[in-house]
Amino acid sequence: MSKPFYNIMFCIFACDTIERYKKEIKKIKETWGKNNVDSYKLLFFLGEEGPFCDSDCIHLENVENDYLSASYKQYGGLKYIYENYNFNYVFICGTDTFVLTDNLIKFIIDDPQISPDKPLIIGGHGDNRQIGNTSVHFFAGGPGFILSKATMDIIYPQLGTMQEEWMWLCAENGYKTFVTACDLSLCYFLKKCEIIFINADNRFFNCNYLGYYPDHSPCCAKSVNIKTMISCHHMSLCDFDKLFTTINFT
């Protein structure tokens, strides 16, 4: 039996055992994930135990719902998608992220650098960390990032062991604060695999759609533009509704 094809698969690490995160899953389904289109599909990857039983909620065996679980949900989600779907791209993010899907699709089509056949990771709002003798640039996982099919082909054989290898690396080198950094860990392995990093400036925002953090301190308030924005992070439930209304009814 052939696997279903989608241009973009969304790998969303999620939690349905804590009320705040349950509400975020529901809010995504009410807003940017609401449209049932043929070109993309959303999947929420959850811990083994939890109440949500919709077909788009995938409970991963032997995965908890603690803070570290985001890493297992990320890698387990990627593995599940690769084994069960055909696709061109995978977009990885959490549940407090809003993706402007029309802008995302236009960006992928219009940028000549981007192709599913090229080994790419595409993101923004990143930083650098020193891992051993290597400086690793990583894209912030909050607003999310995109992996091409060619990248997934390369990393699929390692997806089942990446988190354990990362935890061992952190323990050996005393990187205590890096253990739960699933964005940094993935970018570390992608760099080792010589994946091409494309930094899309002012497209992926690690703050809300107005350019502010939850404490109302400014981040990208002077550069946000919802006409070109691909994603934004630290979105409150109210932010979700306001942005959804703005892009659909104005």
pLDDT single digits (tens) 72-122: 999 999 999 999 999 999 999 999 999 999 999 999 999 999 999 999 999
The residues that bridge with 9 in the sheet, in sequence order, are 41, 90
Domain enclosing residue 66, as ranges: 5-249
Residue range 66-79, pLDDT digits in tens: 877 999 999 999 99
Chain-wide mean pLDDT for the chain? 95
The pLDDT confidence band at residue 123, using thresholds 50, 70 and 90, is very high
**For 51, phi and psi rounded to 5 degrees?**
-85, -25
Q: Number of folded domains in the chain?
A: 1
Q: CATH number for the domain including 111?
A: 3.90.550.10
Q: What pLDDT is stored for residue 250 in this prediction?
A: 67
The model carries a pTM of 0.96
DSSP letter (8 states) at residue 226: T
Q: What pLDDT is stored for residue 33 in this prediction?
A: 96
Residue range 162-210, pLDDT digits in tens: 999 999 999 999 999 999 999 999 999 999 999 999 999 899 999 999 9
